[in-house]
Structure 1
Amino acid sequence: MTFIPEALIQSYVYPVFLASNDEELITRMCYGTLIYAFLTLVLPEAPYGRYTNYKFGFGVPVKLAWCLQECPSFIIPVCLVVYGKQTAYRGVVNQMCLGMFVMHYFQRSFIYPLVMKSQRPVPFLTFFCAFLTCSYNGILHGLYFVNFCHYKNEEWMYSPTFYIGFALFLYGMKINLGADSTLKNLRSGNETGYKIPTGGLFERISCPNYFGEIVEMWGYALASLAPPAAAHAVFTTLFLSRRALQHHQWYLKKFEDYPKNRKAIFPFLL
């Protein structure tokens, strides 16, 4: 039985990319990710959080917006695993590599919204663009690891790239979650103002939460050596670096006593 989302991918996504099979579709979507990554350097910055602007549409409740916009990157691969061809996904390495991707987006979709303090609604256009991006990523990464790529488990499991990449992924997640926890705990009770975050990597950079996510994605790319993962790591690096620079400049303008030795996102560099 053909699973409906997979039939939709073949019926609608294939024609958009002028692809006739999974390999051609994956290749073109990887190029699309890279093109979008570099476009983020010149496109208007996303107006959410402290930069919210409702000329981009009505506000969507922030917790609901985060859950709905991020969850396609979790749900689509899981659906492909459960109902798809699964010709490649039987391998342990395929499961672990895709597992890194869906674990990250499970946290972003269902855990992060529950603990976030912000109550500011997300403009609809910002929410919708994020939803489309995560749907795109869910299709690309799900198809690659479930239907297309098949690793030789014994060889790959013992390769240095897999172990180092997996360790980097876990380390990046630790940084990301720790920084999110620090930011959440800056406000107590019903406080709504902004404070200077301190402790840990916040002593070196303004956005260790973004730095951690970048480390995660490069760990995922190194462990899998998969074109979609590498393209996604490039996108994450460029998009979050620009966002971090915006945050850094905002902090410097907002607080006269903001530490001048802090960088935006990469310690000692940027």
Structure 2
Amino acid sequence: MTIQPPHPPPTSELKADSALLVDRTDAVVTLTFNRPDALNAFDVDLKEALRDTLAQLEADRSVRAVVLTGAGKAFGVGQDLREHASTLGQGSTDLDTVRAHYNPIAQRLASLPKPVVAAVRGTAAGAGASLALLADFRIGGPGTTFLMAFANVGLAGDTGISWSLPHIVGRARALELLLLAQPVRAQQCHDYGLLTELVDDDEKVLPRAQEFAARLAAGPTVAYAAIKRELSIGTAGTLSDALAAEAQAQAICGATTDHQQAVTAFVAKRKPVFEGR
């Protein structure tokens, strides 16, 4: 799988029957989970495609923002339990897929040095909810539902949800959502902070997410990456850790063309043009 050079027309990188569709418009890449008949349940093909594609996007500096979405009626309902049942039927209870797939996907997504926007149409359940919550921003519509479904199948959370969910809603609410494992509807998702923005029509979710991502892609993406790293360190470490991270980040950002041009634009009273370098 290859990522196109900068500024191509919108195209699909993979065949229509591929588990993950990769589309690019200018500096924004949209990743679409493409198993609509299974409500975008994650089988091995989809997990491996997502893991490997995120690694490529991380290395491609011409990609400046990413959108995650699902084909059809759902964002994604988590692990493909039919595939999982066949493994259990062979006598295996070792969930190797967590270490082989979900953990590296979560780590890559959370640390991606560019903004990530999730277009959450329909249900985001289990690992699907986990992936949406690892995005920097989440756009939803009237039909959006989050379901922390792990306990419903006798499992603990995975794909980073024990880290992301309490950061968003607090420990007490996270415990409630994970233990009770009941659907959280659109307005409540917005009230809890699970959604950044709630639009009035499900058909507007993806276009709004792509518009949001395009705005971010036109911004100072080196600074965005540094801010994401600062917050990861600052929320988990000490004040000394945060101050050290901030000093390092400012040294990097202060040397960028974006910063220099922004200062010049400010003095000249004009809007800066950021290039992500």
Normalising by the smaller structure, the TM-score range is under 0.3
- TM-score w.r.t. the length of structure 2 is 0.23
- TM-score w.r.t. the length of structure 1 is 0.24
Larger % of strand: which? 2
Q: Which has the higher contact order (CA 8 A, sep 6+)?
A: 1
